[in-house]
Amino acid sequence: MQHRESAPEQALAWIEEGRRVALATVIEIWGSAPRRVGAQLVIAEGGQMEGSVSGGCVEGAVVVEALELIGSGSTRVLEYGVSDGDAFAVGLACGGNIRILVEPVGEGGMPEAMLRELVAARAARQPVAYEVALNGATRRLVREGHEARFRMDRSGLSEDGATFVAIHNPPLRLIVVGGVHIAQSLVRMAQEVGFDPVVVDPREAFGSQARFPGARVVNDWPDDALAEIGVDARCALVLLTHDPKLDDPALHVALRSGAFYIGALGSTRTHAARVGRLSEAGFTEAEIARINGPVGLDIGAAGPAEIAVSILAQMIQTLRKP
């Protein structure tokens, strides 16, 4: 299941069909808006569009402007102000303003080669930032220099307001080791908030597609599975088996990775035993401290679904709060 914005991929697909396209990107909002900064709409000549920058007649107005820019080969910043009374009709729930950068792909806009490089980086799960001057004078892709933006997954204007920085992070991925009842609830909830889930369990009775519809299921030992899947800074790893034969090999991989979240189910006593085994295996106190164990926020959760809520909340807290 794919959750991330796909405007760059759609733009390239239309270009390869021989069509001219433009990209519209939300660069600033005031008040309430249903789409976050960085949201994109891609428009092809003829008026076909994919994605969203707001809703209602804002979308329609952006398409009209984009079609004009496709022909003229220039970049433009659009601004729409919406009163509370008219807000609902155009997709701004409580009124506000929205600024949108519209740029063609090709002459006067993003070079086609740059779009191809961006799409390739996204496919390879490589974080990349697209810096574009609002006057269209300069554009570049960079992989360094925006650590805070990458960490917070936050596109936005530069301090002087002259440049927009679009953050293209890999999709969030949740890797669950142990296809138990808690995992079924956690996977469903994680899908709803934008994670691509992978369930790892060598026991086919637990790790089956029927138990985890819409998720990738890998029936292999965790260390081998994680090596094949790849664990990076956009991954959360949750261990739910209670079995050291499964959990410990996964932890060895996770603690040597850049995973932003590692959580392991078990009581305080179980976690203390886990810490002892990891120390004997050579992991440092700081490395072991990366594990959230017992897993999840302490909300007094009772039952698999509530435990899943506590885990997902802790994952999001770790991801979003500095």
Can you give the pLDDT at residue 313? 97
Q: Note the pLDDT tens digit of each residue in 180-213.
A: 999 999 999 999 998 999 999 999 999 999 999 9
pLDDT mean across residues, the chain: 90
> Above 80 in pLDDT, residue 34?
no
Q: Say if residue 155's pLDDT is above 70.
A: yes
* Of 29-33, 37-41, 276-280, 291-295, the least confident: 29-33
Which architecture does CATH list for 173-320? 3-Layer(aba) Sandwich (3.40)
Residue 231 CB neighbour total at 10 angstroms: 20
- CA 46/CA 149 separation, integer angstroms: 35
> What confidence tier does 152 reach under pLDDT thresholds 50, 70, 90?
confident
Which residue type is seen at 198?
Answer: V
Q: Return the number of other C-beta atoms located less than 10 Å from residue 3's C-beta.
A: 14
pLDDT tens by residue, 238-253: 999 989 999 999 999 9
Query: Which pLDDT value is given to residue 54?
Result: 78
Q: Which pair of tokens denotes residue 34?
A: 């249903």
Give the model's pLDDT for residue 1: 36
Dihedral sign computed on CA atoms, order 90, 93, 99, 100: negative
- Residues 49-95: tens digit of each pLDDT: 998 887 655 888 899 999 999 988 899 999 987 654 555 555 545 55
**Cut 0.95: pTM above it:** no
Place of tokens 């897993």: 295
CB–CB of 36/115 below 8 Å? no
Reported as a single tens digit per residue, the pLDDT across 97-144 is 889 999 999 989 999 999 999 999 998 889 999 999 999 999 999 998
Chain centre to alpha carbon of residue 140: 21
pLDDT at position 322 is 64
Q: Return the number of other C-beta atoms located less than 10 Å from residue 176's C-beta.
A: 29
211-247 confidence digits (pLDDT tens): 999 899 999 999 999 999 999 889 999 999 989 999 9
**In the chain, domain spans:** 7-168, 173-320
